[in-house]
Structure 1
Amino acid sequence: MHWDWARPRARTLVTCAVAVGAALAVTAGCSSPAAAPATPSASSLHPSAVTSSPGTASASPASPSPSVSCAAQVFGRLTEAQRVGQLFLVGVTDDIAGPQTTAALQQYHFGSLLLYSTSEGVTALAAATAHMQSLGTANDGGVRMFIAANQEGGQVQQLTGPGFSVMPSALTQGTWPTATLRSAAAGWARELRAAGVNFDLAPVMDVVPAATAASNAPIGALDRQFGSTPAGNGAHGAAFITGMASAGVATSAKHFPGLGRVTGNTDFTADVVDNVTTPNDPDLGSFRAAVVAGVPFVMVALATYTLIDRTQLAVFSPTVMKLVRSGSGSGSGLGFGGVIMSDDLGDALAVQSIPAASRAISFLTAGGDMITSQSLAPAQAMAAAVLAKASSSPSFRAVVDAAAQRILAAKQASGLLTC
């Protein structure tokens, strides 16, 4: 998703990218359920693959083996409804600690929340996010939430006010030495952590040709790219990712396979098409650099890539998902083992002709893990549909459970689980 500057209430920027990942095998321990989990190391924020099959039991074993990961233990004690809830990153209302959010969390067990813009600063936001975390743990067996924001810099900086630095645009960040950017990203991440935000929907890894940047509505026109080459974007994106991770903030590389060659913004335009990008495109190298740097999430775009899959949007394409997952960091695949998340499947115009239930089920069936919705209403419809199908179809339930395990592994790596 991209930022909605045109509407009275700022939208959350949900960027698209395909996160590749095989199943996650995690053996590390878990943190205690403190109000603010201990800051994970940079390397711990990249979950490895889970090789075990996703079980369907809703009660934890009496005495879990010490060799069973914390994520697997937590998965075993969640109900199917709670597992479905873990698949959602949902934008909350302006009153982010209000009754509407409380009711939605109680009924649908949404596992991650996406903030709207606020200029109240770090201290006020910290109080609200602490309340959100308390609601999440109360409804979901002690599982803490990813609380996300779009903090790219420049025109896309959701959180401002006392305690938050003014971040320059990614295009400016791309002119800095990578060591400087890494240090700056660590500082921005510390501000996010102080506000209770543990997930930044950044960086943009899309490569925008310099000659067409002005006509590229979603990225180039807003200076959201680090530069115009895959090598430069990759190096600076990796610096941003590792800097954030060093201070305990997860990141998402977006918007796979890239929105740098389109003209329309999928938030406001249907039928956005890229007729240039191929499965072996050199411009995908920037995303590969993000994966090598340990990015835990990759977001998939809502455009159609005719030379990859001309029949469906990337977010619903098994071909695109396979491109994210396959390989070992070289060749045509990214070899990504983390969480594949969607761009906005709630409010984006690109998907409005598709019933909400179909959006969620098609994304998961294609190979996605985390469903992003800018607002509560479509998320509620999607969660109800996913739970209903999982309850009636063992094969789809296995898809849901595998995605829940990948997300729980990412939460373990971020210190959000208790065992």
Structure 2
Amino acid sequence: MGWTAAAAVVVLVAGVGIAYAVTRGNEAPPRHPAPPGATAELPAPSPSSTADCAATIVQGMSLEERVGQLLMIGTPVGSPGDAIGAVQKYHLGGIFLAGRSTADAATLRQAVSRLQAAAGKVRLHVAVDQEGGQVQTLKGPDFPAIPTAVNQGKLDQRTLAADTGEWASRLKDIGVTLDLAPVADVVPAEIGTANPPIGKFQRQYGSAPGPVAEDVATVVTAAQGAGVLTTLKHFPGLGRVRVNTDTSTGARDDLTTADDPALEPFRSGIAAGSAAVMMSSAAYPKLDPDAPVAAFSEKIVTGLLRDQLGYQGMVLSDDLGAAKAVSGVPLAQRAVRFVRAGGDVALTVRLSDAGPMTDALLATAKADPAFADRVAQSATRVVATKVRAGLATCQ
């Protein structure tokens, strides 16, 4: 996410049971007890069995339950219980903890468990923005300071993997299973801090696509190996814009093309198996001259990301609530336009957006069979990540 809103937002996916091995040299990472109500670590299911299980689960859902899987709603990290009513009323599939917290692990673990207790058989994705530097939601005694991505990018790959695994294991210990990281954006050296959403806060791993791609693959592998799913952001890249999409309209990248070298870190993260990709809320005239932001562009979400890059995983929006970049589209229609473009999870930092977005998705699906099919398709992608994470099961 762009930092102004995203620095406030954490998406925690509780109860993850991903069982990928992560190594630090020849040593296994420390094992943490599963948080209350979490699924114990399981052997990683094969892609085919995961997809089959997800399809079976979604087939048994009502339209309301399917729509709920397509929403990730923000709630204050200091009072996660505020979202319990919305989770139950709207069958929400994801919760996003907003703000900054200095609470200890035990307090956060208990709060996440209460949220999960409000969910149905398919449990919540609960996520955090735990990048490092100024974008670190959890900063309590059990969550030491994480360096900026610029400084992480100066580490050798072995050290970066070990450190990432340690940071991710602390998230998993409290029930977090989705981190809105790593940032795969490349900020050219000649732009640097003049890039408001990324470069200004040193959120990029570097200024050249090759090294950034290597770092992104290392972070994805290490974090998911420790049991926390990753999110590549902000596709197709925010490194060249001169406007922050959270606070202003008009963020525009006039250079990025479908074969741009700056896409290399996204390709690398996809090849490493990242569970999610987050769309940018900037405009890209060379990719789609008619779309106001990438998140609403079928040419970018479906044509470029899914068809050309071959990514078939879960696609999230950046903030569709408070962000100024999307203010020109009526609130209730933002989730609809994102899903029509090929996206799966509409994210908003505001709890109050749950009702209008749910109502719009439901009304459109009831009136348009093709859109109802898209809802089912996206719900299946979302549930597949939950099967992978131990949040849903067919057993």
Is the contact made by 1:40 and 1:415 (CA closer than 8 Å) also made in structure 2?
yes
Once residues 211 and 151 of structure 2 are traced to their aligned partners in structure 1, the CA distance between those partners, rounded to angstroms, is: 12
Report the count of equivalent residues. Answer: 369
Once residues 201 and 315 of structure 1 are traced to their aligned partners in structure 2, the CA distance between those partners, rounded to angstroms, is: 16
Relative contact order (C-alpha < 8 Å, sep 6+): which is higher?
A: 1
Corresponding residue to 1:148 among 103, 127, 130:
127
Amino acid at match of 2:9: T
Once residues 355 and 106 of structure 2 are traced to their aligned partners in structure 1, the CA distance between those partners, rounded to angstroms, is: 30
Corresponding residue to 1:88 among 71, 75, 90:
71
How far residue 292 of structure 1 moved from its aligned partner, in angstroms, is 0.5
Report SS of the residue matched to 2:191.
helix
Is the contact made by 1:3 and 1:12 (CA closer than 8 Å) also made in structure 2?
no
Report SS of the residue matched to 2:246.
coil
Amino acid at match of 2:341: A
Corresponding residue to 2:91 among 100, 103, 109:
109
Is the contact made by 1:265 and 1:272 (CA closer than 8 Å) also made in structure 2?
yes
> Alpha-carbon deviations, 1:332-371, whole Å to 9, x = none?
x321110111111111011112101221111111111111
> Alpha-carbon deviations, 1:79-137, whole Å to 9, x = none?
11011000111111355343x41221121111111112211021110000000011113
Once residues 384 and 295 of structure 2 are traced to their aligned partners in structure 1, the CA distance between those partners, rounded to angstroms, is: 22
Is the contact made by 1:48 and 1:338 (CA closer than 8 Å) also made in structure 2?
no
Is the contact made by 1:87 and 1:403 (CA closer than 8 Å) also made in structure 2?
yes
Q: Which residue of 1 aligns with 2:298?
A: 318
Is the contact made by 1:40 and 1:247 (CA closer than 8 Å) also made in structure 2?
no
Q: Is 1:301 matched with 2:276?
A: no
Q: Is 1:243 matched with 2:243?
A: no
Is the contact made by 1:4 and 1:13 (CA closer than 8 Å) also made in structure 2?
no
Amino acid at match of 1:36: A
Once residues 39 and 185 of structure 1 are traced to their aligned partners in structure 2, the CA distance between those partners, rounded to angstroms, is: 19
Q: Which residue of 1 aligns with 2:60?
A: 77
Q: Which residue of 2 aligns with 1:19?
A: none
Relative distance call for 1:388 and 1:10 in structure 2 (3 A) is same
Is the contact made by 2:232 and 2:276 (CA closer than 8 Å) also made in structure 1?
yes
Is the contact made by 1:33 and 1:418 (CA closer than 8 Å) also made in structure 2?
no
Q: What is the correspondence of 1:276-355 to structure 2 with a 5 Å cutoff?
A: 276-312=255-291, 313-321=293-301, 322-326=303-307, 333-355=308-330
Q: Any unmatched runs of 5+ in structure 2?
A: 12-33
Amino acid at match of 2:4: D
Once residues 168 and 184 of structure 1 are traced to their aligned partners in structure 2, the CA distance between those partners, rounded to angstroms, is: 10
Once residues 50 and 294 of structure 2 are traced to their aligned partners in structure 1, the CA distance between those partners, rounded to angstroms, is: 24
Q: Which residue of 2 aligns with 1:372?
A: 347
Q: Is 1:271 matched with 2:254?
A: no
Once residues 153 and 267 of structure 2 are traced to their aligned partners in structure 1, the CA distance between those partners, rounded to angstroms, is: 17
Once residues 358 and 389 of structure 2 are traced to their aligned partners in structure 1, the CA distance between those partners, rounded to angstroms, is: 24
Is the contact made by 2:35 and 2:173 (CA closer than 8 Å) also made in structure 1?
no
Is the contact made by 1:2 and 1:12 (CA closer than 8 Å) also made in structure 2?
no
Once residues 324 and 105 of structure 1 are traced to their aligned partners in structure 2, the CA distance between those partners, rounded to angstroms, is: 30
Q: Which residue of 2 aligns with 1:2?
A: 2
Once residues 317 and 392 of structure 1 are traced to their aligned partners in structure 2, the CA distance between those partners, rounded to angstroms, is: 22
Q: Is 1:35 matched with 2:32?
A: no
Relative distance call for 1:382 and 1:151 in structure 2 (3 A) is same
Corresponding residue to 2:208 among 229, 237, 242:
229
How far residue 398 of structure 1 moved from its aligned partner, in angstroms, is 0.4
How far residue 188 of structure 1 moved from its aligned partner, in angstroms, is 0.8
Relative distance call for 1:13 and 1:352 in structure 2 (3 A) is farther
Q: Which residue of 1 aligns with 2:170?
A: 191
Once residues 389 and 145 of structure 2 are traced to their aligned partners in structure 1, the CA distance between those partners, rounded to angstroms, is: 26
Q: Is 1:393 matched with 2:368?
A: yes
Once residues 393 and 385 of structure 1 are traced to their aligned partners in structure 2, the CA distance between those partners, rounded to angstroms, is: 12
Is the contact made by 1:49 and 1:337 (CA closer than 8 Å) also made in structure 2?
no
Q: Which residue of 2 aligns with 1:417?
A: 392
Relative distance call for 1:154 and 1:47 in structure 2 (3 A) is farther
Q: Which residue of 2 aligns with 1:134?
A: 117
Relative distance call for 1:315 and 1:291 in structure 2 (3 A) is same
How far residue 38 of structure 1 moved from its aligned partner, in angstroms, is 2.5
Corresponding residue to 1:182 among 145, 151, 161:
161
Report SS of the residue matched to 2:318.
strand
Report SS of the residue matched to 1:152.
strand
Once residues 163 and 222 of structure 1 are traced to their aligned partners in structure 2, the CA distance between those partners, rounded to angstroms, is: 24
Is the contact made by 1:2 and 1:13 (CA closer than 8 Å) also made in structure 2?
no
Report SS of the residue matched to 1:115.
strand
Relative distance call for 1:250 and 1:125 in structure 2 (3 A) is same
How far residue 418 of structure 1 moved from its aligned partner, in angstroms, is 2.8
> Alpha-carbon deviations, 1:371-406, whole Å to 9, x = none?
111111223211111011112221110010100001
Report SS of the residue matched to 1:175.
coil
Q: Is 1:125 matched with 2:127?
A: no
